[in-house]
Structure 1
Amino acid sequence: MHEQAKKVTVDIFGQQYHIRGDVSSNYIRMIASTVDDQMKRLASANPRLDSLQLAVLTAVNFADQYEQLKREYDDLLNQMERLKRHSKLPIEQGVREEST
């Protein structure tokens, strides 16, 4: 069953936004708060940037974090797959392969 979208008003960097989503209102507020905090941190470190520049820099930082986490996730999946393959080998064979 498709849940009705929730509409939440949030404040990000001094601007109010009406955000609609299929997730909880608290989740939307948490995400907005994370964006607001990041923009404020960047603004204090880069006082000459306007709000659009700060928004773009924030988006670039979040995209970088996403790509790093995706890479780490893929690495973990690969490690799990290797462990799964090794667990199917007889114990002696797995030990011999590890020592080479």
Structure 2
Amino acid sequence: MYEGSNKKRVKVEIFGDIYTIKGDTHERQMQLVAEYVDRKMQYVAQRTPSLSLKQVAVLAALNIADELFTFKNDYDKLVQILEEDNK
């Protein structure tokens, strides 16, 4: 979601704040990504209400990054299995 002249703009709400995000992807995908981030932040905040907004954002980002690394590792393992099967 980088700025540029041909980018789509979508207004989204994340953790109570409105953001205008820009990107090359479909508007619905940008909305879904924002909703996902919002859900993660809400989850972290509900589990530990004493956290600051910054702490909520960082912990949500860490949770999302952990999911990404897990999916990437699983994907890499599947690719390796498929490559071995095709030998």
Q: Same fold (TM over 0.5)?
A: yes
1:76 and 1:43 map into 2 onto residues whose CA distance is 35
Q: CA RMSD in A?
A: 1.2
User: How far apart are 1:62 and its partner, in Å?
Assistant: 0.8
Higher relative contact order (CA 8 A, sep 6+): 2
1:17 and 1:4 map into 2 onto residues whose CA distance is 18
SS at match of 1:71: helix
Q: How many residues align?
A: 83
User: How far apart are 1:4 and its partner, in Å?
Assistant: 1.9
> How far does the alpha carbon of each residue in 1:23-51 deviate from its partner, in whole angstroms, 9 at most, with x for none?
11111111000000111111110101111
Query: Which residue does the alignment assign to 1:41?
Result: 43
2:29 and 2:22 map into 1 onto residues whose CA distance is 11
Query: Which residue does the alignment assign to 1:31?
Result: 33
Q: Does 1:50 align with 2:52?
A: yes
Give the alignment's TM-score, normalised by structure 2. Answer: 0.90
Greater helix content: 1
Equivalent in 61, 65, 68 of residue 67 of structure 2: 65
Bigger radius of gyration, 1 or 2?
1
Structure 1 gap segments, 5+ residues each: 86-100
Q: Does 1:8 align with 2:15?
A: no
1:41 and 1:7 map into 2 onto residues whose CA distance is 27
1:66 and 1:72 map into 2 onto residues whose CA distance is 10
SS at match of 1:48: coil
Percent identity (aligned): 36
Query: Which residue does the alignment assign to 1:94?
Result: none
Letter in 1 for 2:10: V
